[in-house]
Structure 1
């Protein structure tokens, strides 16, 4: 039952914020540009999130119809957004603010579920060994760099910081670890579950926050799986059993603030991705990357506002909804919530949409956005279609009659009330 709220919410916000936000050229900038700690230090020295407003962020998420938010407490760069006692590479040292505290308090004030992201990778820590993901992987003598580094000490540090997060901020609903890469590459090792003591770390989470959901990126099974930057094409299964899953998606391909990246997904695509996830019993976690001063970028605010307008009218087709046991028409996908079946029309048909297997199973049809009734009919499968008569559909097909003009909403939804 720990996942009941998660299955109900269906839609969450991911927030990537850190030193990379001021660099403004992808959250992996330190890795991509192979920056040393000295190169990267300037972003710490100038970290000034004067426009980071956790209350405004929480209200933006709530207006968008999201039920939970997940903040990067620490990304791969190693910079902590809370008052950690284990390092001075944190927001309190840099700017005098515990941003995790501000965030948790703001979410609780809005009635939203609290999620933490925490990287098990730490490129700043002196005991984290250089591997094929590390910014220093291209140095002439990696073995010399690794001399004296001790992953036992790093594991103790990792577990200690997770303990701080799970004991210092009250009940936490969700923890997203990131990530495990056990294979070798370019002559260098990766890091697997044993490098994090994944079993021990998960056990720590269970002991400190037994109701908290934990994702699958420690490299061992946990509560839910996290496909990233792609959409599954069917409900996820393993060994014949359904998986709890969440699609992690960006606005523009980057997680952190990327000033010059204009590859913004249109709102209609984002909404289709959301309902596509719900139609397969999944969630969608949609990311924003606040800028170097901590503000949500105007382009992201505009997209969230437009999604929120759609969610205000169509919330019932998403929140608490899930997979439907009917084959959808070619024009869209179904979600279902109790006795209500929702047809999300990705394409707008001319005059009619034919729903296989629903004849005799629907008592009422309407547009969800304005509640307006839609006429339905059942075609005679033995009658050949001719001229202006939409006959010839397979037996059991229900036809919904539509106006020629597409409704002026991001994604039209037809609500069908199912018979008992």
Structure 2
């Protein structure tokens, strides 16, 4: 199935990790799985989670101002706690937080994404089998595996029925635009019944987008935290935290600067990907102010440079320009990103198509340019005069290079 155009055009999505782990500010699910926090202490957060100031319209308004085109909410993490009023399992919050989120996003014309973990380390039927080929010397974790001689395949079928029931609730009620699965490493594709699960979701929305953690049914790659040096070939998405944590953690004040986030964003879209930028609301449902400020700042940068963001495709391969770039859908305008104030002319190599003009995006100032050199089939270097200080953006300046035709690149080695 071809990728939905809205996804590759979106460029920015917001990941929302919200759950009971925000009460004590501990790591979501992993903190009890790895015995960092006692299990009973972790689960006691269920009774202390209030959602007292949850305002999904405020979230949606912030995400829209950030320039995002979609969002992904953790409807159920590995801890098994559901954010909606599910009829399956015993771990609900007594309230439906998902419906308001869906309505608020759609009011702002944002696409609706749900995170859902394949694994559930609290379900009584989950740790009843093990992944085929799991080395016997690997230590079992009591929340996710059982010894080979204690496998209970009937219990596993009950777990799959529970999983299918929850996914059916989400898909039938809300028909999400995107389902973002996680936890796939715990079992095999066959154990998860991946094709059957995908068919279930598509029966409610045939156009749903699924991430790569749906294994053979996935539509796009999901690198996490580390920006890829060589971008994936097809559609992809970098999921990235603003500080060091997915969910809210009181002690984590190591926020990335706005300048760093603009770099992550421009490098990601320059490589043909989307940035899925994460926020971790507090247990009352409010998004921490440092995260709000960074989303608003990123939104201001995107609004100023929207032509270089939306409706573009991946830009020049490495080696042509020192920095990321994007290309308009008609391949007739190249957008070059400059992170630093140029001290001299800006050189761009290998552009065969003649250049009509170069302007600074946002101000419209036209910059003189010329092509120097070139021999036989090799082409010269396009030299662009540097913008003046008044034309430079404090985070990243973008030059629009208008071409006299579709972009054609020289990728050869020159004459020997």
TM-score between both structures, scaled by the size of structure 2:
0.86
Q: Which residue of 1 aligns with 2:13?
A: 12
8 Å contact kept, 2:373–2:381? no
1:276 to 263, 267, 271: 267
8 Å contact kept, 1:74–1:119? yes
Q: Which residue of 1 aligns with 2:282?
A: 291
- Asked if 1:33 is matched to 2:35, the reply is yes
CA deviation digits over 1:355-381, x for unaligned, max 9?
A: 113376211111112111111122356
Query: Structure 2 CA distance, aligned partners of 1:157 and 1:373?
Result: 61
- Asked if 1:53 is matched to 2:62, the reply is no
Query: Structure 1 CA distance, aligned partners of 2:27 and 2:309?
Result: 31
8 Å contact kept, 1:367–1:413? yes
Within 5 Å, which residues of 2 pair with 1:363-378?
363-378=356-371
> How far apart are 1:180 and its partner, in Å?
1.6
CA deviation digits over 1:33-70, x for unaligned, max 9?
A: 35555332320011101122111111111101110001
Q: 3-state SS of the aligned residue for 1:208?
A: coil
Q: 3-state SS of the aligned residue for 2:223?
A: coil
Q: 3-state SS of the aligned residue for 2:311?
A: coil
Q: Which runs of 5+ in 2 are unaligned?
A: 131-137, 406-416
Q: Which residue of 1 aligns with 2:23?
A: 22
1:419 to 401, 404, 414: 404
Query: Structure 1 CA distance, aligned partners of 2:240 and 2:197?
Result: 26
2:208 to 203, 212, 230: 212
Task: Say if 1:138 and 1:284 are closer, same or farther in 2 by CA, change over 3 A.
Answer: closer
Query: Structure 2 CA distance, aligned partners of 1:39 and 1:326?
Result: 50
Query: Structure 2 CA distance, aligned partners of 1:88 and 1:308?
Result: 40
Task: Say if 1:381 and 1:177 are closer, same or farther in 2 by CA, change over 3 A.
Answer: closer
Q: Which residue of 1 aligns with 2:297?
A: 306
- Asked if 1:80 is matched to 2:78, the reply is no
8 Å contact kept, 1:51–1:294? yes
Query: Structure 1 CA distance, aligned partners of 2:197 and 2:236?
Result: 21
Q: Which residue of 2 aligns with 1:89?
A: 91
Task: Say if 1:82 and 1:88 are closer, same or farther in 2 by CA, change over 3 A.
Answer: same
Q: Which residue of 2 aligns with 1:398?
A: 382
8 Å contact kept, 1:64–1:304? yes
8 Å contact kept, 2:12–2:274? yes
> How far apart are 1:199 and its partner, in Å?
2.0
Q: Which residue of 2 aligns with 1:187?
A: none
Query: Structure 2 CA distance, aligned partners of 1:317 and 1:287?
Result: 23
8 Å contact kept, 1:31–1:133? no
Task: Say if 1:174 and 1:148 are closer, same or farther in 2 by CA, change over 3 A.
Answer: closer
Q: Which residue of 2 aligns with 1:232?
A: 228
What is the number of equivalent residue pairs in this alignment?
A: 390
Q: Which residue of 2 aligns with 1:123?
A: 121
Task: Say if 1:41 and 1:409 are closer, same or farther in 2 by CA, change over 3 A.
Answer: same
- Asked if 1:265 is matched to 2:256, the reply is yes
Q: Which runs of 5+ in 1 are unaligned?
A: 182-189, 238-242, 383-393
CA deviation digits over 1:215-271, x for unaligned, max 9?
A: 12133342111111111223423xxxxx22111111122111121112221111111
2:180 to 162, 176, 189: 176
Q: 3-state SS of the aligned residue for 1:204?
A: helix
Query: Structure 2 CA distance, aligned partners of 1:133 and 1:57?
Result: 41
8 Å contact kept, 1:378–1:396? yes
Query: Structure 2 CA distance, aligned partners of 1:6 and 1:218?
Result: 17
Q: 3-state SS of the aligned residue for 1:269?
A: helix
Q: 3-state SS of the aligned residue for 2:402?
A: strand
> How far apart are 1:21 and its partner, in Å?
1.2
- Asked if 1:331 is matched to 2:327, the reply is no
Task: Say if 1:137 and 1:212 are closer, same or farther in 2 by CA, change over 3 A.
Answer: closer
8 Å contact kept, 2:242–2:255? yes
Query: Structure 2 CA distance, aligned partners of 1:206 and 1:104?
Result: 18
RMSD: 2.6
Query: Structure 2 CA distance, aligned partners of 1:191 and 1:76?
Result: 13
Which shifted more, 360-369 or 124-133? 124-133
Query: Structure 2 CA distance, aligned partners of 1:191 and 1:278?
Result: 32
Task: Say if 1:81 and 1:167 are closer, same or farther in 2 by CA, change over 3 A.
Answer: same
8 Å contact kept, 2:339–2:395? no
